[in-house]
Amino acid sequence: MITDNNRGPTNLRRPRVHRPSFMTVIWVIIFSQSLISCQKQSAVNFAKENWSAYLGDKSASHYSLLDQINKENVQNLQMVWEFDGGEASVKDRSMIQCNPLIIDGVLYGTTATLKVFALDAATGIRKWTFSPDENFIVPRGLNRGLAYWQDGSDKRIFYASGEHLFSLDPADGKLITSFGKEGMVDLTKGLGRDVDGFRYHMNTPGVIHEDLYIVGGKVSETINPVPGHIRAYDVRTGEIRWIFHTIPHPGEFGYETWPEDAYLKSGGANVWAGFSLDEDREIVYAPTGSPSFDFYGGDRIGDNLFGNSIVALDANTGKRVWHFQTVHHDLWDFDLSAPPVLATILREGQEIDVVAQTTKMGLLFVLNRETGEPIYPIEEIPVPASQIEGEQTSPTQPFPTMYPTFSRTTLEEKDLAIRTEQAHKAAKQIWNEREHSSMYHPPSIKGTINFPGYYGGGEWGGAAIDPTTGVLYINANNFPWESKLSPYVPGSPGSNLYKMYCQTCHGSSLEGSSIFGNVPALVHVKDSVSREEMRSIITVGKGVMPSFSRLSEKETNQILDFLTQDETDLTTGESAWPYPYTYDGHKRFDLEDGLPMIKPPWGQLTAIDLNTAEIKWQIPLGNYDSLNIPDHPITGTQNYGGPIVTLGGVLFIAATADNKIRAFDKDTGQKLWEANLPTSGVATPSTYAVHGKQYIVIACGGGREGAKSGDSYVAFSLP
């Protein structure tokens, strides 16, 4: 008989407790440990054999544990398959910048026309294709990769074209209709103000944290600016779970670094380069771009947080953990152009988890991953003041004191080209006619030499880290560009609109540019393109050109009248251009021979030991074989796309303008192998294994710097 909580005696009998024997407990413990061990081994094998995230993993390491291909046998690599989507532009205006995913023997990538495909990763044979136009969405912009999520049997591929985000079934490429609206999300919605019809592209994939897809996007850098807020979407439903305002709202941290009403009208400070994620700490690291308008900031006086910053956010809530601003009040388009690499370094015998952020300026910022504190001091150095009316430059800019620069960061007269007497004379004339002092010399009416430039230093390909040594590998460009402002002078309605929407890419004289994705000249456009074709391109967009659907029919006709020289209304009238200056367009200082106004090297590859803050080796990357310059047998070329490093001790990189992919000894920089590609591989390679065989794959899209366009993926392996 037992007592039941003060109720007195009861006739209930205590149930018999069956206690497991000692040996049963031991066997349960052994089984549990074995199960955990198997799960861990399975996760290791998945990570080792697959390339399951943009740039290799969520830490943006560009690193692989595969070692079948190594220093001793890499020279035996052979091309084993090529997949050609057959969609390259005949006018050489298409590119592929995709770093493909490879998961369980299937490769997922995008074509030159932004279709998604799945291939057998061992043979290159197509399994399926998805095209946005099947859903009446015109593919446009660029795509640098995809994102993959799995929870048990629920698997999804996330892909973006322009402002549309899609959720696809990796088995067949069909839309998962439970996500968003019939499988799609419009990224222009949910930014806090009406940006419908404005420019917004998600060109780089976001990062997956549990059941959240954290994303950024590319926005207008001139007129009609869009705020670059960071958002986390529910991977199952497409609903926004949190948002971080990169242009702070009233009451939020950093609000005072902008004019009072900036959050209502300013734009930029966007993450177009992708993210990195510390999965253990559940912190996402966001590298932001410059505020808009890129080259004049009289309407945004202040430091402009969180522009040009590494922002550490709680991945679950979007709350700020810390931030570090690499450029105050940017006037040079010095966006943070790649996700920071997560690494562990050794300093004074102590291991420190860090983020390593490369920049367009060739500067390397290395910060404590938890606190954002610099590992070595970063000084605020004085910089030149702007002479532009209404502008207020920051008096100082941050500069690392210990970590070395990885590109050329200063120019002197002795650096001008000497390859021919004519080249030197032309370079000297440019030098004498422009302003120049440092990388932070502000834009000017006379014209400023911007070096290492808008596409200089480290670009969107990003850096690779070897976690076994703490050595960082980064490729860089060394090209001078012009940064020139002109006082805004209203003209005809059509010319006003051209200055607002077209001039940055197509140039102040309609000259176009072969540098930025082969932007066509528009001087005689009416001789090759009909008026209705032009109308369609303006309204819908095409390739890298965004849609300008927000323009009224009248405004579109006025631009067409200007381009076709059919303007009848030549009166000077009111304009919506909000700034007192216009930017004259992206112009690189190349000479008549098509080569830069300075001496080589024009492209470099550098290994930096993060433990010692020293350059381990540095070499030119790429070569103009036809150019014979004394003392410079290797010139280096412009390069876009990053390196990868493997446990086999090999660094692989394409990226260069000479249509090659190369392998280097990661410890010495010695070239071990190279192969010709059908077109330039303007992308980051991937490596993976299928049935124990290791492959290297690279997208060959060309189309940059006037190069031939392609639509191929090429895979290499050992015989």
Reported as a single tens digit per residue, the pLDDT across 426-479 is 999 999 999 999 999 999 999 999 999 888 899 999 999 999 999 999 999 999
Please, which residues have CB within 8 angstroms of residue 489's CB and are 6 or more apart in sequence? none
What's the rounded Cα separation, in Å, for the pair 533 and 518? 19
Q: State pLDDT tens for residues 133-190.
A: 888 888 888 999 999 999 999 999 999 999 999 999 999 999 999 999 999 999 999 9
Question: Averaged over 263-277, what is the pLDDT?
Answer: 96
For residue 31, the model assigns a pLDDT of: 59
The amino acid sitting at 612 is T
CA distances from 2 to 17, 18, 70 (A): 16, 19, 74
* Paired tokens of 210: 């549990």
Please, which residues have CB within 8 angstroms of residue 360's CB and are 6 or more apart in sequence? 333, 334, 335, 337, 452, 453, 454, 455, 456, 457, 458, 459
Question: Averaged over 371-384, what is the pLDDT?
Answer: 98
Strand segments (E) across 406-531: 448-450, 464-466, 471-477, 481-483, 485-487
End-to-end alpha carbon distance in the chain = 81
Q: State pLDDT tens for residues 586-642.
A: 889 999 999 999 999 999 999 999 999 999 999 999 999 877 666 657 899 999 999
Angle between helices 553-563 and 531-540 (to 10 degrees): 130
* Paired tokens of 69: 């291909």
Please, which residues have CB within 8 angstroms of residue 534's CB and are 6 or more apart in sequence? 525, 560, 563, 564
For residue 459, the model assigns a pLDDT of: 95
For residue 505, the model assigns a pLDDT of: 74
Q: Which residue has the tokens 């006709």?
A: 557
- The helix (run of H) or strand (run of E) holding residue 185 is strand 184-186
If you write DSSP's letter for every residue of 598-665 in order, what string do you get? Answer: BPSPSEEEEEEETTTTEEEEEEE-S--TT--BTTBS-----B-S--EEETTSEEEE--BTTSEEEEEE
Percent of the chain scored above 90 by pLDDT?
Answer: 72
Q: State pLDDT tens for residues 553-601.
A: 787 877 777 877 776 666 665 666 788 998 888 889 999 999 999 999 9
Q: Please check whether residue 250 is in contact with residue 273, taking contact to mean a CB–CB distance below 8 angstroms.
A: no
Please, which residues have CB within 8 angstroms of residue 318's CB and are 6 or more apart in sequence? 230, 232, 242, 243, 244
For residue 25, the model assigns a pLDDT of: 55
Residue 302: half-sphere exposure toward Cβ, Cα within 13 Å:
19
pLDDT score of 219 more than 80: yes
pLDDT score of 339 more than 70: yes
Q: What is the mean pLDDT of the chain?
A: 90
What's the rounded Cα separation, in Å, for the pair 143 and 161? 7
For residue 643, the model assigns a pLDDT of: 98
What strand order describes the sheet that includes 240-244?
207-209, 212-215, 230-234, 240-244
* Paired tokens of 439: 């990388």
524 or 90, higher pLDDT:
90
Q: Which residue has the tokens 């639509």?
A: 711
246 or 495, higher pLDDT:
246
Strand segments (E) across 393-534: 396-400, 448-450, 464-466, 471-477, 481-483, 485-487
CB atoms < 10 A from the CB of 669, how many? 16
CA distances from 372 to 47, 116, 321, 324, 369 (A): 28, 37, 9, 7, 6
Q: Is the dihedral of CA 430, 432, 436, 442 positive or negative?
A: negative
For residue 496, the model assigns a pLDDT of: 73
Helix (H, G, I), strand (E, B) or coil at 442: coil
CA distances from 301 to 266, 581, 719 (A): 11, 16, 61
For residue 10, the model assigns a pLDDT of: 36
pLDDT score of 538 more than 90: no
Please, which residues have CB within 8 angstroms of residue 41's CB and are 6 or more apart in sequence? none
Q: Please check whether residue 25 is in contact with residue 33, taking contact to mean a CB–CB distance below 8 angstroms.
A: no
What's the rounded Cα separation, in Å, for the pair 643 and 656? 11
pLDDT score of 689 more than 70: yes
For residue 168, the model assigns a pLDDT of: 98
pLDDT score of 27 more than 70: no
For residue 555, the model assigns a pLDDT of: 76
For residue 572, the model assigns a pLDDT of: 64
CA distances from 615 to 403, 493, 630 (A): 9, 54, 26
Q: Please check whether residue 380 is in contact with residue 398, taking contact to mean a CB–CB distance below 8 angstroms.
A: yes
CATH for 489-576?
Answer: 1.10.760.10
- The helix (run of H) or strand (run of E) holding residue 672 is strand 671-676
Beta-sheet pairing, 644-646 with 63-64: parallel
490 or 679, higher pLDDT:
679
Residue 149 φ then ψ, to 5°? -135, 140
For residue 487, the model assigns a pLDDT of: 92
Question: Averaged over 401-408, what is the pLDDT?
Answer: 97
For residue 567, the model assigns a pLDDT of: 66
Question: Averaged over 410-421, what is the pLDDT?
Answer: 94
If you write DSSP's letter for every residue of 385-418 in order, what string do you get? Answer: PP-STT----SEEEEESSSPPSS-----GGGB--
For residue 19, the model assigns a pLDDT of: 57
Question: Averaged over 182-203, what is the pLDDT?
Answer: 89
Q: Is the dihedral of CA 426, 430, 432, 433 positive or negative?
A: positive
pLDDT score of 528 more than 80: no
Q: State pLDDT tens for residues 292-321.
A: 999 999 999 999 999 999 999 999 999 999
For residue 525, the model assigns a pLDDT of: 74
Residue 364 φ then ψ, to 5°? -120, 120
Q: Please check whether residue 125 is in contact with residue 119, taking contact to mean a CB–CB distance below 8 angstroms.
A: yes
* Paired tokens of 564: 């076709």
For residue 13, the model assigns a pLDDT of: 40
Lowest-pLDDT range of 148-152, 509-513, 606-610, 666-670: 509-513
What strand order describes the sheet that includes 350-358?
341-347, 350-358, 364-368
- The helix (run of H) or strand (run of E) holding residue 126 is strand 126-130
**pLDDT band, residue 2 (cuts 50/70/90):** very low
CB atoms < 10 A from the CB of 41, how many? 10
Domain spans, the chain: 1-125+603-719, 489-576
Helix (H, G, I), strand (E, B) or coil at 372: coil
Closest of 119, 66, 103, 49 to residue 714, by C-alpha: 119
Q: Is the dihedral of CA 305, 306, 307, 309 positive or negative?
A: positive
The amino acid sitting at 142 is L
CA distances from 526 to 229, 294, 501, 551 (A): 39, 31, 19, 20
* Paired tokens of 441: 């010399």
607 beta partners = 473, 617
